[in-house]
Chains A and B, each alone.
Chain A
Amino acid sequence: MKKLRIVNILILLLLLTGSCKKYVEGYEKDPNGLLETNIEQITQGILLEQQFALKDEGLRTAMIWLNQATGSQRQFLSFNNWNSVGNNQFDGPWGQLYTVISEARVMEDLADKAGNEKSRGLAKLLRAWAGGELAELWGDVPFSQAGLPDQFPDPKYDAQADVFAQVQSLLDEAIVDLNGAKIIYGDKDIFFSGDASKWIKVAHGLKARFYLAAGDYSNAKTEAAMGPSSTDDDMYAKFNSYVAPRGQWNPTFQFYWERDGYMSAENSYGVQITMNGGRDNAKTYEIIRAYYNYAPGSWWQSGYDYDLNVMIADWVGTNGKFGGPMELVTYGEMLLIQAEAEARTNGVAAALPIYNQYRTLLDNDNYLGHWGPVLSSNLTPPYGFYLPYDLTDFQAGGIENQDNVSELQAFLRELFEERYVFFIGDYQAFNDYARSFNDPDVPQYFQLKSGFNGQPLRFIYPQSEIDSNDNFPGEAPKVTVPLPMYQ
């Protein structure tokens, strides 16, 4: 009898043991944690990360290096010297672009399963865009295996030229998909409200941008013609200012807000040629655009002669470039690409009408900000102008050729200088320098900060990648080493 009871207890214990694992099963998942998303809901995050990646900390570093801005305090003082910026400063800019790539992979997968070709096209476009920017800034980067953590925890590095080639074919796929079935969720598309035709133009615009970066001028020209074809097609980063929730603020405005005084535009070359009349001539008067990019230090109270213009409408009646939306892909850029490609392939005479078309856009107050009453009180008429150039202006002794260089050199110098100002606040200005620094057709068109060794020709690889990617190719090149395609 007693034995029986013990046996019963033992059996009970065994049964309990068997149910042990079951007891904990199902509780390992966070009851407030999501294990999935869908196409509609992932879309906006990627768009927002893309614009953040293109306009945040990496851009500020590039602007300081290009003498469009200045590091004025604390750690930012050392940012002026491109040789002294540590690899870990690039963890952020690199990580942001790869976040776009990996989230876009998730979106492609979701769109694939749902048969939503248009959304898949958008995802491919975003991934290609991020890949192209990575190749422009770092050269050889992981792309074919990037953003697939399950298959490739240590993605291999593709050569810069291969990345550009992959980007082009991926953009081709994107265009096909964008012409395909289903929709882009309009309420989540902050840029074009789901209008695929606008995205197709952006895709062509990006193809033009990256062909130009790869030195394929004829393709660049063709694609640029299919890119955004009026200012209505322009794509702006949807940043806002103090009047909106913090999560919408322009990243540079936020930086000024959090790190008052770290960064300014004091003594920058960008201020010299815009604010201080360096680019002004009989046909050009830059003052409005100068105020779009820069503001007197007294406006922000950080005590420098000039700051980047992070002003917002409810303070001074206008949004500075760094206080609100910023250009991403524009009709203006397309005209600049076509002008350069035309000049390089068919000569200045063929390029000039296109460039003048671009200047007319500026003269009609495009890409100059939206200046209001307060700004106008700081200025006296005329409020800036961009009159058409003649071919003679680029010939020896002309307005843009006082030093008697070749017509092409004079034209490209003006064009690159224009791009230097137009792209204050965009990575294209940095890529322009990286691809042209040793191009005999492009004479020096701006001045770096003096006293530092070499030239900033690339972004250096981030510390996290050096430490964590087993396929990282050995030694990391210095900032002064040209990118593979520009050597």
Chain B
Amino acid sequence: MRTKFNVFLTLLLALVVQISFAQEKEITGVVTEAGSGDPIPGANVVIKGTNKGAATDFDGKYTIKANPGEVLVFSVVGYQPVERKVGSANTINVSLKQGDQLTTVVINAIGVEVKKRTEKGISTSKVKAKVLQTTGEQDPIAALSGKMSGVKINMASGDPGASANIVIRGPKTILGSTQPLFVIDGIPVRGGLRSSSVDGVERPSKIGDIDPNDIASVKILKGAAAAALWGTEGANGVVLITTKSGKYAKKGSIGVSVSSSISFDSALTKYPLQDKFGQGSAGIWSTSSLSWGDKISDRPGGPDDVDTTGDYFVDQDGKTWYPILTKKSKEVFNNKNYDAVINQGMQIKNGIQLTAATQKASYFLSISNLKDNGIFENSYYDRTTVNFNNSIKPSKKLKITTNFQYTNAKQNAIQKGSNVSGLLLGLYRTPADFDNSGYIGTKFKSDPNQPNVLKSQRSYRKPVGTDYKKGPGYNNPLFTEYVQKNPYKSNHVVTGVNLSYQLNEWLTLIARSGLDYASSKDETYFPIHSGNYPKGNYSSTLNSYYRINNDFIGQISKNLNDKISLDLLMGLNFSHYKSEYLNGYYGDFLLNTDTPTDDNAVDQQKNPYFKTYIIRKTAGYGSATFSYDNMLFTTLTGRGEYASTFGDFIFYPSVSVAWDFNKIDALKDSEVINSGTLRASFAKVGNEPNPYLLDTYYVGANDSDGWGAQWSASSYDGSIWRDIIQGNPNIKPETTTEIEGGMDLRMFDRLNLNFTYYNSKSKDLILYVPQAASSGYQYKWDNVASMTNKGIELELGYDIIKKDDLKWNLGMTYTQNDNVVTDLAGSDYISLNGFTSTSSGVAQGKPFGVLRSTDFERDNEGNLVLDANGFPKAGEKIYAGDPNPDFLAGIHTDLSYKGIKLRVLVDGSFGGKSWDGTTGALTHFGRTLETANEVNISATDATTIVNITGAPVNTLSYAHLNTDGSYTVRGNIKDFGAGPVLLDQVWYNTIGSGFGPVGTQFFKDATWVKLREVSLSYSLKADILKKAKIKSIDFGITGRNLWLWTKDNWGMDPETNLSGSSKGRGLQYFNHPTTKSFLFSTKINF
């Protein structure tokens, strides 16, 4: 029966073929990836033996006219080509297997296409475009959060345009940069993160200039061996970004897609503040800076009694504010004050992408604009990007590729952190019963001989406004947002041209040149009556830089015999970098104007600064891969460099070995193990010294002591003398040597596993080392310190369901890094950022960024030493916590059913400590919930329980005597070991305060887990759309940072860091909240 049926089929087929021969017909189909079933855009479909061809569109679809009997060749880089004979069917769907990993082409560290077998021995993580794009993040680094192992990404804050910080496999330098090298389409690009401090504003990074929609893939080279070809720039790892290139569409037509998205943002966290007690001290209302006043519910209610005869204030809306004589109102303003400055933000993004390609050329043009009105009033980020990539093949041997990206970014940010002109500092300290709504206006002086004060600032400490050129104590947060200005503008171009000439079948020559150019203007304007500059201050920094990077590369790929093949790459590199700063500021304004002009200050208050950095570097590099029997792979690389930043020639070697153990006979046909590779590598990479450490310079004469006294010859008649820091002509790059080993495994055709262990040692870290002053210098630049990083990286993927139209998989990442500073050349401790009370720094034998703070006094057993009243005392400074997490983990799952896709990503940081300085400070002010507690104390206990001054409860003026003889008092009862004592205002204002000496009491576990992303997308392809010449419409909804869990009670996002992207870690002090958002997007493909 079966045979007969087959015969019948064959006959039928033959008939159809016969008929088909008669005429060329249109064949359509979809090219997908074997396994995942994802469509492959840009695959070539060529009729064998002809030049006729087509290519797949965004959905992997193609259309081609062919005659039956002709053979279609489906091919695309990275996959094994497939041939199909045209038969009767009008639809030919093919699935391409990922190419034999050995001969397919990948982009290597320096951005050159190489055979994949050359990278078998190193570990990389790759993220595809669509994974970045559904996150709703507009910063490509932030979009990587939780998606790969071995990297730690932190958001500085939720300010619009604020950048994310990325550290790969732990820090490897103390004074240098921990930023990886970014390489975009083969062009090294400066990440451009501003190392921020405990105040000021958060600015966009230069890598944040890239629209994630323009990215085709991001590949992270984590290990030293992977980055070894970059030598002195490789120690922190390399982030390789490939932007989209032209896709083949129907001949003569252009692929167009228009996308639009809108996102609604709000603060992820809101710090809980008490609203039980009002402004004042010792239980009595006053215009104190504190909220230790009366109990609001005990007030009679109704309007406050005011003094209409004294000074008064008329605000921006014409409302008059008089000094309060008696506080009667029960009204509280916590929410009103908060909502006035932090509320809903909105992002709107529009873009258009055009793509076209022929056999000889391809083009990709993308223009997009993002407008982000942040959750802080008057803050915004506006980014316009243009991306044009083109590739032409004038002949079969020559290929010319050009890339061009332009970004214009504008931002206004809000002052943050430890800053009396900052947003949250003023907001959170504002007492619950103070209405911030009037913030600028005229202060009318009752004294007829005194002029009224225009543009006076009203704040809770100056309730009828500041006097002329006097400060408000702390800024009214509305003044911070609406009156102070922090504009930023930047233009950024990344462009390059790449000529590739295939001399013969085994030799290719490449010449390429890349340019990274940016210029920015960064302004800060504090008008008169600002918190930190009551007399006004304006500063502006112009920075422009460029880097030109030229490479001449030769590539050889040859089979030496049946078993051994050789891939050789040799190159020469010339790099020129120049950066120029021009900064000026002036203070003590003459006029209260926001027009920036230096006419507005006297000469003494003006200050210019300018600085130029030039770094030149040249290198020869090479890589040789020997492959044996497609099973054993050995890659050797070397890079030798001369650079203007260090004296001597330096050489960086690496070796990596990989073994595809599944290819041994015993496993060759295994159903369990589909593929398996064991790999190991060793490499040395470097971190570049800052420029100009080689020579001793002559500088403007000045000196200062550690207590604030200073002199400067420029305040007299000027003088130039020899610097007290001695240059060191022998300075060399900081070097990191790393060994790593790992395994890549695919099992049951469902399970992917990548595991890596690494151990790196960074030495010759540069510090300025104290010298015997009697020699003539006080410091000398030298390569002295060292540290180690050890870690584990794990990535797991499992396909739970993999049917044609239903797919579900689960993935997991795990990252662990242990850092120890092993040698600090005799220095006890070097602070990286923070405060005198609590700071993050480096100390010998401690992890990088260790937090140092003062503890309570303890005896040898670690017990508290108590005073006569049973209270603890301040003790010594200790290493109070490691801000580095024990491990990071992420879990994601993807579910797709026909055109519907769902993605969920949860990630978390486990272990580590952070200092909660916000709570520390707000404790002092009586704004935390803890400080608003009330305790009842029996009549007898009230005579024995004392506060820190030794005063029993029944003697405290602010303890309320109840009718039963017991007392109610604001505070908490605590037993430090000598019986219960009362923690009241006196405790919370002194040793129990964040302003007191003991910082350790505000350390918390920094563990957090975030629901980072939930995204749902649907691709609509209906016939009705075709009439409108629309191929498809993609809809997407993404929820970003929807939920945060913290182990300790924070009221803030512990992922943020006060000092932003600087190396100081684990500091919380009025940090701006991060945001959560709902993003709706549509994309129409024509």
Q: Which residues of A are in contact with B by a Cβ distance under 8 Å?
A: 2, 5, 9, 13, 16-17, 20-21, 23-37, 41-46, 48-49, 52, 56-57, 91-92, 94-96, 98-99, 101-103, 105-106, 141-142, 146-149, 152-155, 187-188, 190, 238, 244-249, 251-252, 254-255, 257-259, 262, 462, 464-465, 467-469, 472
Contacting pair B721 A46 (CB below 8 A):
yes
In angstroms, Cα B773 to Cα A153, docked, is: 10
Q: Contacts A34-B697, A469-B772 given; indicate if A258 touches B719 (C-beta within 8 A).
A: no
Contact flag A255-B775 (CB < 8 Å), given A32-B611, A247-B716: no
Write the B814-836 contact mask toward A (1 if CB under 8 angstroms, else 0): 00000000000010000000000
Kindly report which residue of chain A lies nearest to residue B572, judged by CB atoms.
A16
For the complex with contacts A24-B618, A45-B719, A247-B713, 20 further pairs of A-B residues with Cβ separation under 8 Å are A5-B503, A13-B554, A17-B620, A23-B642, A28-B694, A28-B695, A31-B614, A33-B697, A41-B720, A42-B721, A44-B717, A48-B711, A95-B773, A146-B775, A146-B776, A190-B716, A247-B715, A254-B708, A464-B770, A468-B771
Chain A residues contacting B694 (CB-CB under 8 Å) are 28
Say yes or no for B1002: interface residue by CB 8 A criterion.
no
B165 to chain A, nearest CB (A): 28
Q: Indicate if the CB atoms of A149 and B720 lie closer than 8 Å.
A: no
Task: Specify which of A5, A33, A57, A94 lies most central, judged by the most chain B CB atoms within 10 Å of its CB.
Answer: A33
| Candidates B503, B570, B774; contact of A155 at CB < 8 Å | B774
Partner of B714 from the list A9, A30, A247 (CB cut-off 8 Å) is A247
Cα–Cα distance between A49 and B699 once the two chains are bound (Å):
14
Residue of A nearest to B772 (CB): A469
Known: A27-B615, A48-B719. A247 touches B775 (CB 8 A): no
Tell me, rounded to whole Å, the shortest Cβ–Cβ distance linking A145 to chain B: 8
Residue from B574, B691, B710 in contact with A30 in the complex, judged by beta carbons closer than 8 Å: B691
Contact assessment for A49 and B701 in the assembled complex, using a CB-CB cutoff below 8 Å: yes
How far does the alpha carbon of A5 sit from the alpha carbon of B713 in the complex, in Å?
64
6 chain-A/chain-B pairs, Cβ below 8 angstroms? A94-B773, A95-B773, A148-B776, A244-B715, A254-B708, A259-B708
Are A24 and B720 within 8 A (Cβ)? Answer: no
Contact of A255 among B708, B714, B772 (CB under 8 A): B708
Question: In the complex, how many angstroms separate the beta carbon of B840 from the nearest chain A beta carbon?
Answer: 22
B504 CB, nearest partner CB in chain A, Å: 8
Near A by CB (< 8 A), chain B positions 711-759 give 711-722, 724, 726
B612/A31 in contact, CB under 8 A: yes
Question: B706–A92 contact, CB under 8 A?
Answer: yes
Check A464–B778 contact: CB distance below 8 A: yes
Asked if B703 is at the interface (CB within 8 A of a chain A CB), the reply is yes
Report the minimum CB–CB distance from B580 to chain A (whole Å): 9
CA distance A34 to B721 in the complex (A): 10
Contacts of B504 in A (CB 8 A): 2
Q: Are B709 and A254 in contact (CB under 8 A)?
A: yes
Q: Tell me the minimal C-beta distance from A481 to chain B in angstroms.
A: 20
Residues of chain A lying within 8 A (CB to CB) of residue B771: 153, 464, 468
B708 lies within 8 A of A257 (CB):
yes
Q: Name the interface residues of B760-792: CB closer than 8 Å to any CB of A.
A: 769-778
Q: Is B1083 an interface residue (CB 8 A)?
A: no
CB pair B705 A251 closer than 8 Å = yes
Q: Is the CB of B697 within 8 A of A35?
A: yes
Contact (Cβ within 8 A) B709 A248: no
A146 touches B719 (CB 8 A): no
Q: Considering the chains assembled together, what is the distance between the CA atoms of A15 and B643 in angstroms?
A: 18
Q: Which residue of B lies closest to A44 (CB)?
A: B719
The residue from B574, B619, B711, B720 contacting A42, defined by CB atoms under 8 A apart: B720
Residues of B within 8 A of A147 (CB): 774-776
Interface presence of B97 (CB below 8 A): no
For the complex formed, measure the closest distance between the CB of B565 and the CB atoms of chain A, giving whole angstroms. Answer: 20
Q: Is the CB of A99 within 8 A of B724?
A: yes
A25–B644 CA distance with the chains assembled, in angstroms: 7
Instruction: Report if B698 contacts A (CB, 8 A).
Output: yes
Evaluate contact between A27 and B719: CB separation under 8 angstroms.
no
Contact of B775 with A33 in the complex, beta carbons under 8 Å: no
**Cβ-closest chain B residue relative to A254:** B709
With A and B bound together, what is the CA distance between A5 and B504 in angstroms?
A: 12
CB-contact partner of A57 in B611, B619, B707, B716, under 8 A: B707
Contacts of A57 in B (CB 8 A): 705-707, 709
Is B258 in the interface zone, CB < 8 Å from A? no
In the complex formed, the residue of B with least CB distance to A466 is: B772
Interface 1/0s, chain B 489-516, versus A by CB < 8 A? 0000000000000011000010000000
* B776 close to A98 (CB less than 8 A): yes
* Nearest neighbor of B715 in chain A, beta-carbon distance: A247
Query: B612's contact among A2, A32, A252, by CB below 8 Å, is which?
Result: A32
With both beta carbons as reference points, the residue of chain B lying nearest to A102 in the complex is identified as B776
- The residue of chain B having its C-beta at the shortest distance from the C-beta of A106 within the complex is B722
Is the C-beta of B544 less than 8 angstroms from some C-beta in chain A? Answer: no
The residue among B617, B713, B726, B770 with the most chain A CB atoms within 10 A of its own CB is B713
A37 with B722: CB separation less than 8 A: yes
CB A256 to nearest CB in B, in angstroms, measures 9
Among candidates A99, A102, A238, A254, residue contacting B710 with C-beta atoms closer than 8 Å: A254
Contact A48 B716 (CB under 8 A): yes
Nearest neighbor of B577 in chain A, beta-carbon distance: A27
Contacts of A254 in B (CB 8 A): 708-710
Task: Report yes or no: A28 in contact with B710, Cβ–Cβ below 8 A.
Answer: no
Within 8 Å of chain A (Cβ to Cβ): is B610?
yes
Cβ distance A68 to chain B, nearest Cβ, rounded Å: 18
Complex Cα–Cα for A5 and B509 (A): 12
Q: Within the assembled complex, what's the spacing in Å between the Cα atoms of A202 and B60?
A: 92
A16 vs B864: C-alpha distance when bound (angstroms) = 70
CB of B700, distance to nearest CB on chain A (Å): 8
